[in-house]
Amino acid sequence: MAEPALVAALRETIIAQPEMILEDRDLMRALIAANERRMGDNVVDLRGIAMERLEARLDRLEDTHRSVIAAAYDNLAGMNQIHRAILRLLEAAEFEEFLHDLGGPVADILRLDGLKLVLETHETAEDPALRRLGQVLCVAEPGFVDAYMLGGRAGARPVVLRPCPPEADALFGAEAGIRSEALMRLDFGPGRLPGMLAMGAAEAGQFQPAQGTDLLAFFAGVFERAMRRWLA
């Protein structure tokens, strides 16, 4: 049993600062449990049950709040990455530099393990000039972009996020170890065949169908406009 002097001092402290008790969850639970034991098993404490439910609801709300904040930070970080990548692309003074930056600094800014620009062409012979443009540029026959992006599904979308199909090895190279990809269809204007920007990640969950595509659509829009300038 506590000493009378200690009980008196504690009582005075609680009366002077009751918020100390009310704001301490563990202490409140202990007091409620002691009260329930005192009442016995035949008495139902509706107020205690209501408080437990309110605490559970508060915990869920706090978890949701943390999830929303985390998602907001992720979106902000993604937006900053896209903006930095676009600014780097716009610095190029020549097309060769433009493609070099795409496969190098831009891919690094976006933290990609693979990045390919696919251009459709009617030409069947290999152009030696393409070799000096680096590994980022790939040429394909007409219809390749839609066929690859659709993957046997109906309805074309401008941006596709998905786990990599087996054909991805031919695009990125088997040694790259790409396991998920983001594909953006590029429109180069009337009279020109379409293109595709393919971003690859070694992490299987980096690009998933349920993720938002607004930032990637914006990046693709800026990129295809820059490409129109070079193609002109």
| Co-location of 113 and 146 in the same domain | yes
Please tell me which residue, 23 or 184, carries the higher pLDDT value: 184
**H or E stretch including 224?**
helix 214-231
Check residue 55 and give its pLDDT.
Answer: 76
User: Residue 106 belongs to a domain with what CATH number?
Assistant: 3.30.450.40
pLDDT digits (tens, 9 = 90+) for 113-122: 999 999 998 8
Answer yes or no: do 113 and 212 share one domain.
yes
Domain span at residue 32?
Answer: 4-43
Contact between 11 and 17 under an 8 Å Cβ cutoff? The reply is: no
Residue 123 and residue 136: Cα distance in Å, rounded? 19
Tens of pLDDT, residues 181-198: 999 999 998 889 999 999
Which of the given ranges, 21-25, 26-30, 125-129, 195-199, has the highest pLDDT on average? 195-199
